[in-house]
Amino acid sequence: MNKELLLENLRTVPDFPIPGILFFDVTTLFKNAACLRELEDALYDIYKDKGITKVVGIESRGFVMGALLAARLEAGFVPARKPGKLPAETIQESFAKEYGTDTIEIHKDAIAENDVVLIHDDLLATGGTAKAAYNLVKKFGPKEVFVNFILEITNLHGREIFDEGVEVSALLEVEE
């Protein structure tokens, strides 16, 4: 993986969405075909032999690589969305973020007990969003759950919020 290419194309936005937050914008990686291919290949290499049957992408930037990876792994794709966006019966999980609270939900029939699930999002900061998605997925009782991010802000220690033994990975690491 060409980490230099990815880091060179990563945009940072100070004071977004509120003053004091340095926002790492991965959409600049998505608009660059070479970066998009690097991300897809790197993620595929990590998970190609893990038996993944479902990829859960967290709204909304987690949908991009989550869906690409699901297709490449020949797995299903499950969107984890904000309330009111999914048309059928759902289960929800609320969580605290570094600048507020939020809720995500997944369709009740999205995951089965025999599934091996990969949860994917763009960024790991404090871990609230991904932990909520992890808690939702665990309610389905799947065989195994993996958690992945494009970028981890290491000095925020979001990785520590996950249960011991959960494989959490990030393609890139930065400090805020």
- Known catalytic residues? 61, 98
Of 23, 26, 22, which is closest to residue 10 (Cα–Cα)?
Answer: 26
- 149-163: b (≥16 Cβ within 10 Å) or e: bbbbbeeeebbebbe
Of 105, 111, 76, which is closest to residue 93 (Cα–Cα)?
Answer: 105
Residue 55 CB burial class (10 angstroms; 0-12, 13-18, ≥19):
buried
Of 88, 20, 97, 23, which is closest to residue 58 (Cα–Cα)?
Answer: 97
Of 102, 73, 78, which is closest to residue 90 (Cα–Cα)?
Answer: 78
Whether a cis peptide bond, with omega within 30° of 0, leads into 60 is yes
